[in-house]
Structure formats: C-alpha cells, structure tokens
Amino acid sequence: MGQTVAQKIIARAAGRDAVEAGEYVTVSPDYTCCQELAWQTRKRMMQEIGVDRVARPDKVIMVVDHTTSAAMGSAYHVNHREMKDFAFRNGVDNFFGAGSGLRHLVLTERGFARPGLLVFSDEPNIASIGALGALNIAVSSEVVATQIGDENWMLVPKSARVTLTGKLAPGVLTRDFAQILIRDYAQTDTLSQSCIEFVGPALAGLSLDERQCLLACAYHTGADTALMPVDDLALDYVRNRAQGRPFHLLESDADAVYAHEASYDLSTVSPMVTVPPELHGAVQVENVAGLAIHQAAIGSCANNRLDDLRGAAAILRGQRIDRAVTMYITPGSREVYAQAAAEGLLNVFMDAGATVLAPGCTTCWGYEGVLSDGEVQISTHQMNYHGRNGSRSARSYLASPYVVAASAVAGRIADPRPLLADASRRLS
Amino acid sequence: MTLIRGRVWKFGDNISADNGIIQYSQVPDLDTFDIPALKAMCFAELQPNFRAEARPGDVVVAGRNFGHHSHQHACVAMKECGVAACVVESTDSAFIRKALNIGLPIIVCPGVTSLAEQGDELSADLATGEIRNVKTGATRHARPFSERMIDIWRAGGFSRAMRLKLMPQVAEPVRRGTRYGI
C-alpha cells in the first residue's frame, strides 16, 4: 500500500520502511524545539528523571518567544536565565534569546525546517514548517526530556487531503480561507488524529508566507498537523538556508490512502471575521462591519511574516488609525523586523500611529496589549476565547492583516477592499 | 501483564477536558496541581456521584471527541480519582500523550460505546488492543499500544519510565499526589 509524505517522514524517523495510519511507533525526531513559558515544568520533569543533560544537544532548539522582554512584575525572567544556563551547560548551540522571533520562524529562517525532517515541538501551530516539507508533531511536557534518550513514541496520523484550486481575490488572504476551514471542521472529529496534506494548483500562486499562515492555523480544524508538497519556491528557500545540512525530498505515492478528502476554490473566498469566543465562528466581514473597536493587533504565528506586514502597510500607507484605537504590530522575527525596516514598512506603521513591538508572541497570548473590561479587539491572533487577551468581558475578533488594518483606520470592523482599491488607484 | 479490568463509568460525546472532565477555570493553583480540588471537580458536572463512588481501577468509557481542548489537569484529576484507563470512540493525540505522561492510558476504540454500559466490567489489553465486556464476552479491537508506551504505562508515567531505563538500580517511585512534573 502506498505511503503519504507524512508516513514516509515518520517511517524514516522510526527506522522503518513503512508505517500504518493509526499505529503507535517509536521515533527519533530530527529536532525538538521548545519555548520558555513552561520551562519550570520541563525542568521539574528532568529533575524527576534525575538527569539534567541531554544526549543529543545538537537536536535541541530553544527559543525565548512568548515573553520578549523579562518585564517588571513578570516571573519569566527566571526562565530566560535558567534556559540559557541549561543550553550553555549542555552544549546546546541553538539557543535563541528574547527578540529572535517565534520558533516557527526561527526554524524556517535558520534552515532547521527542511524537507523530510520530523520535528517534535511544544506547539501544534508549528505545522507552519510544513511549507518546507518538514513535519511538526506537538508533544507535551516531555519536549526537552525527549532528548535525554533521543526517542519518543508518536501516533502515525491518518492522512487527509485538501485540494485547493482558484486564486484569492484582491483583499483576501489565506488567513480568510483558514478561518473558513476551521469553521467547517472544528466542531467535528473528522480531522481528529490527521495530518492535512494541502495540494492543488492554487498552491503555486501562494507565497511561502501565505502557505505558512494556512498551515499555522490547520491545528484548529482538529488535525494533529499539516504540510504541503515541496515545489521549486520552497526548495530554493531551503537550499539558501540549509547551510549544507541534509534533507529528503519525498512525495506521496499515487496509491497512498486518504481517510478524508475535500476541495476548496480559493476564488470564492472573501474577507472573514471569526466572532468570539469560539474558533468556528467565522462570518463574512459584512456581517460584523461597523462594530466599534478599541484595539487592533497584527502578529502571531499565523500573520507575522513579511507578506503580512506588506499587506498591512498597503492599507495603512498615508492613513491614520482612528484616535480611539490602539494598534500593535509584531514582526515574527528579527529578520522580518529588519526587512520591514529596509522596505520602509515600519515608517508607514509609525506614521499611521501604530506601535511596533519586539519580535515574539506578545499580544497573541495577552503578554502585551492587555484588554480591559468590555473592550473589543480585532486581531490576527490564533485564539479568541474569553480572557485570552486580558479581561474575560473583553471580546477578541479574528481576521486577516488586511481586515485588521482597515478596521484600525475606521475605528470599527471594516471591509478592507475599498481602502485597498483606493490605495491602488493612488499608486497608479 | 498488559490487561486492565475495571468497572465502567460511561459518558457521552464531546466531553471537554477543561469544561467537562474538570472545570479548568476553577482550578485554584494551576502550577502546582491542587490534587484535592482536582479530585473534587472530576466529572462532577456530568455524574455528581463520581467523586464519592469511583473506586481505584474503574474505567471511563466515552464517545467521540473525548477530552478536546485539554490541559493536563484533567488527566491528573482522573488519575488521582483512581481511573485505570479511558476507552473512547475518538480523542486527539495530544490528550493521549498528556495522559500517558502521567501513566493513564487513553485507548481509541471505535464501537466501545455500544459494547459497554455504566457499571459493566470492561477489560482492555494494551498489547493486543482487545477490549472485552467481561459479562457478555463481546469484544472490539483498538490499536495496540507500542512497547515503549506500555513501558511508560507500567512505570506510571514518562519520567519514571525514563528513570527506570537510565538508572534501574537507583530508581524509586515518583511520589504520587505531590507534584506532577508536567
């Protein structure tokens, strides 16, 4: 029986010729990647085991991304210190301190995410590395302890295939489509214990940033993980970043088995807004347009890449955000930050009255940009449950960078397409 | 020996971990795991007599989408109440991992809700995947756990299994009911 790419990646890491969907196997992942937030529980686990060293420090990637500065009143400065000490003591070269960026971007930009590699991380949204053909499997507290023995168990996910056709209309991003996909699946267990393989002619028209956005949101459909085929665009990116480190170009076999198949025409997608507090509450922007907002935020592993910032700047150029709105923009990595500066995007944001924060998760989990009682936010974040960004009575709407930027200008939730059309008229 | 046998507590579909198995927002101390509080709230909203009547070795049977949107506290609550295993129609991989990390097996077994009713005796063999209603003799088949997973279950959790593997001569039990390294 044929194997999917995900099965081939897992089989390689398990030292096997083939693996079966639903099977439990023992694997040696190529990398394990963790952040700082739960360091104390990671440490406690190591203490219980009675070991404070890892067997394969070369496979460990540690990133400070949730707490980009050790702020007054926050306890996380201890984790920054202890993680750094642990890395240095263990010979872990790949420790990336505050401001480096999110694990998702550190993995891609620094050439760790390569085709055919298996990465164990502490977050399912790191499936974004599937844009380069690497498979993310989210584990739990044992993410560091996995490297004591250089192995762990995992479930071989079922494979689901989502075929994408058509081209996104102006003003529409993969973020909008991701919100539709979550709406369609999050209340079912259809994609439970699955790896989504996104395929189809539409992929060629999507930038790597746009692909990573979709993959970073895939977990919220109920799937374990997701990836895409590696095309020339992805391969060029990998070759430029891999620093000669190996990778494995794999393809799904023609007779591979898919437990679920679906297809979507991207040309039918329009700007969406997900209404709190559930992730499946996506509606077309027209349904909620006009709702007054207090805060707008662009960032999170879904939308903190260069194309997202370019999109926001296309709306904000020459505009001022509404005086009632506080706007935060968080580049996803130091590289994205620097490139945004070089392209003049940061100036656009400053002129519009937005605040640019240091690269990291920042506002997405409420470390910064904390909401007060009754406040309304629209953001490109990943979650919208009560209390995620501060007060439990605040409300967090989710949308694309276009919708968030247009709403910041209007002071209310707004359709970005008129502003974008104006902007392109001005340019021509 | 990979056989678990116990009395069934039966639950329906879509039992949320954080707003069903426990009430996550009401856990007093998330960091250190407040065991008495977790035990007191375990399944309390779904079967109010669970806390008083659950016995060590009991088995949870549940429907589709068990334990979605989970924090590990829900696993700790069940484990501390004496639940020996959960056998469910479907769940997510993260929940299986969080539970096994503290020695609680969650077994995916399509059809289990038509196999067993509340109060029945159910047996589950982790190595073969055979799930059996002891009284009726009816069986269903689940995916067997791998050897590595069975080692973790036997040891009572990931940390203890690693400790046994690395230092069999000095290994001592990780104390239960004190702190979870999770």
B33 confidence band (pLDDT: 50, 70, 90): confident
Q: Where are the domains of chain A?
A: 5-265, 271-427
Checking if the pLDDT of B19 tops 90, the result is no
* pLDDT score, position B27: 83
Classified by CATH at the fold level, domain A5-265 comes out as Aconitase; domain 3 (3.30.499)
For A48, name the nearest residue in chain B, comparing CA atoms only: B159
As a whole number, mean pLDDT of residues B150-177 equals 80
The residue of chain A nearest to residue B165, with distances taken between CA atoms, is: A149
Give CATH superfamily name and number for B3-166: Aconitase, domain 4 (3.20.19.10)
Chain A interface includes B101 (CB < 8 A): yes
HSE-up (13 A, CA, CB side) for residue B177? 5
Q: Does residue A277 have a cis peptide bond before it, meaning omega lies within 30 degrees of 0?
A: yes
- Measured between beta carbons, the chain B residues lying within 8 angstroms of A152 are 148
Interfacial A residues in 361-390 facing B (CB < 8 Å):
none
Residue B178 clears pLDDT 50, i.e. is over it: no
Q: Which residue has the tokens 């993260």?
A: B94
Number of neighbouring beta carbons within 10 Å of residue A248: 14
Q: What is the domain partition of chain B in residue ranges?
A: 3-166
User: Distance between CA A70 and CA A368 in Å, rounded?
Assistant: 12
Higher pLDDT among residues B71 and A287, named by residue? A287
- B76 neighbourhood in chain A, CB within 8 Å: none
Q: What per-residue confidence (pLDDT) applies to A238?
A: 98
- Closest residue on chain B to A141 (Cα): B182
Determine whether the interchain pair B94/A124 forms a contact, defined as Cβ–Cβ distance below 8 Å: yes
pLDDT of A193 reads 96
Q: How many helices (H) and strands (E) does chain A have?
A: 13, 18
pLDDT of residue B34: 87
Average pLDDT over chain A, rounded to whole?
Answer: 96
Q: Do domains A5-265 and A271-427 have the same CATH topology?
A: yes
Confidence of residue A170 (pLDDT cuts 50, 70, 90): very high
The percent of residues above 70 in pLDDT, for chain A, comes to 100
In the structure, what pLDDT confidence band is assigned to residue B180 with cuts at 50, 70 and 90?
low
Specify the pTM: 0.94
Q: Which of B92, B164, B169 to mutate to test the interface with A (most CBs of A within 10 A)?
A: B92
Tokens, residue A387: 């209390």
Decide if pLDDT at B172 tops 70. no
Residue B26: its pLDDT value, please? 83
Give the angle A419-A421-A426 at the CA atoms, nearest 5°.
95
CB atoms within 10 A of CB B36: 10
Whether B31 shows a pLDDT value over 80: the answer reads no
Q: How confident is the model at residue B18, as a pLDDT?
A: 84
Name every residue whose Cβ is closer than 8 Å to that of residue A74 and which is 6 or more positions away in sequence.
A67, A367
pLDDT range class, residue B168, cuts 50, 70, 90: confident
Q: What is the mean pLDDT of residues B22-42?
A: 86
Whole-angstrom distance, CA of residue A55 vs CA of residue A63: 19
**A335, containing H or E segment:** helix A334-342
Lowest mean per-residue pLDDT among A127-136, A252-261, B25-34:
B25-34
Is the Cβ of B52 closer than 8 Å to some Cβ of chain A?
A: no
For chain B, percent of residues with pLDDT exceeding 90: 75
**Which ipTM value was assigned to this complex?**
0.90
Q: For the residues A248-277, what does the mean pLDDT come to?
A: 97
| pLDDT computed for residue B171 by the predictor | 53
Contact B12, B62 (CB under 8 A): yes
Beta strands A31-34; A118-121: pairing state:
parallel
**pLDDT in the model for residue B70:** 78
| Residues constituting chain B | 182
Q: Look up residue A287 and give its amino acid.
A: N
Considering only CB atoms, B65 lies closest to which of A47, A157, A192, namely A192
Please measure the distance between the N-terminal and C-terminal CA atoms of chain B and give it in whole angstroms. Answer: 27
Q: What digits encode the pLDDT tens for the residues A20-63?
A: 999 999 999 999 999 999 899 899 889 889 988 899 999 999 99
Say whether pLDDT at A306 is over 50.
yes
- Verify whether the Cβ–Cβ distance A49 to B159 is below 8 Å: yes
Q: Which residues, in sequence order, are CB contacts of A8 under 8 Å at separation 6+?
A: A116, A250, A252
Identify the residue among A148, A192, A194, A225 best suited for mutation to test binding to B, counting B beta carbons within 10 A and taking the highest: A192
How far, rounded to the nearest angstrom, does the alpha carbon of residue B121 sit from its chain's CA centroid? 16
- A90-139 confidence digits (pLDDT tens): 999 999 999 999 999 999 999 999 999 999 999 999 999 999 999 999 99
Mean pLDDT across chain B, nearest whole number?
A: 90
The answer on pLDDT for A260 being more than 90 is yes
At B68 the pLDDT is 79
Assign A75 a pLDDT band (cuts: 50, 70, 90): confident
- Partners of B162 on chain A (C-beta within 8 Å) are 49, 51, 145, 148-149
Percentage of residues of chain A with pLDDT beyond 90:
88
> Is B34 exposed, middle or buried, given 0-12, 13-18 or 19+ CB atoms closer than 10 A?
middle
pLDDT of residue A428: 73
Neighbours of B5 (CB within 10 A): 15
What is the chain B residue with the closest CA to A45? B181
Give the mean model confidence (pLDDT) for residues A223-246: 98
Contact B65 A142 (CB under 8 A): no
- Provide the shortest C-alpha distance from residue B24 to chain A (in Å): 13
B149 interface with A at CB cutoff 8 Å = yes
pLDDT, tens digit, 9 for 90 and up, residues B67-121: 977 788 999 999 999 999 999 999 999 999 999 999 999 999 999 999 999 999 9
- The torsion defined by the Cα of B2, B6, B8 and B12, in degrees rounded to 10, comes to -20
Q: Comparing C-alpha atoms, which of A118, A109, A153, A150 is closest to residue A137?
A: A118
Report the alpha-carbon distance of residue B20 to residue B28 in Å, rounded.
17
Contact A198, A226 (CB under 8 A): yes
pLDDT over 60 at B173, yes or no: no
Burial class for A167, CB neighbours closer than 10 Å (0-12, 13-18, 19+)? middle
Residue A1 has pLDDT above 90, yes or no: no
Radius of gyration for chain B, computed over Cα atoms and rounded to the nearest angstrom: 16
Q: By the 8 A CB rule, do A144 and A54 touch?
A: yes
Report the pLDDT value the prediction gives residue A387, as an integer from 0 to 100: 86
Is the pLDDT reported for residue A427 higher than 60? Answer: yes
Q: What percentage of residues in chain B have a pLDDT greater than 70?
A: 92
Q: Which CATH architecture has domain A271-427?
A: 2-Layer Sandwich (3.30)
What gap in Å lies between CA A6 and CA B129, rounded to an integer? 24
- Mean pLDDT throughout B162-182? 64
Q: How far is A190 from chain B (nearest CA, A)?
A: 10
Interchain CB distance below 8 Å, B97 and A139: yes
